């Protein structure tokens, strides 16, 4: 496995872990402003986000390892970088949904703003960070 694959996936994963709490807060404020302001107005929003980051790092570590391996496989198989990025984006979202489903169950999966925050960050990271093509793709 190339170091570029490892770094690319690490950037995406860490972006998701670090930025998703902020997106979670913003989505929570948009969905239910009254309850969100009560929850976050105590000045606990920074501690709340910090807790989400720590829990996110722990719970998504195995998912990141799988993500690295799948990116390496996609880079070997796929000859077009654009298609590879679409595949990586889809895999990232599926792995994120799977992790949330395993940890929190599927009942409220799509009502959890943190799920959307993570999926947004992963999708953005896949397209934002430079995807180094494999040597045979050049």
Q: How far apart are CA 20 and CA 38, in angstroms?
A: 20
pTM of the full predicted structure? 0.84
How would you write the pLDDT of the chain (138 residues) with one tens digit per residue?
578 889 999 999 999 999 999 998 888 888 887 777 766 666 777 888 898 899 999 999 999 999 999 999 999 998 888 899 999 999 999 999 999 898 888 787 777 888 889 999 999 999 999 887 555 544
What's the number of CA atoms in the CB half-sphere (13 Å) around residue 50? Answer: 5
């Amino acid at each position: 496995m190339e170091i570029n694959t490892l770094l690319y996936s690490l950037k995406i994963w860490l972006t998701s872990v670090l930025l998703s709490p902020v997106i979670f807060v913003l989505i929570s404020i948009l969905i239910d402003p009254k309850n969100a302001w009560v929850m976050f107005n105590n000045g606990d929003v920074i501690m709340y986000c910090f807790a989400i980051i720590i829990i996110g790092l722990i719970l998504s570590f195995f998912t990141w390892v799988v993500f690295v391996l799948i990116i390496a496989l996609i880079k070997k198989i796929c000859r077009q970088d654009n298609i590879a990025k679409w595949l990586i984006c889809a895999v990232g979202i599926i792995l994120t949904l799977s992790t949330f489903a395993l940890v929190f169950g599927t009942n409220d999966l799509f009502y959890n703003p943190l799920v959307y925050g993570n999926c947004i960050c992963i999708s953005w990271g896949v397209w934002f960070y430079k995807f180094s093509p494999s040597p045979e793709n050049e």
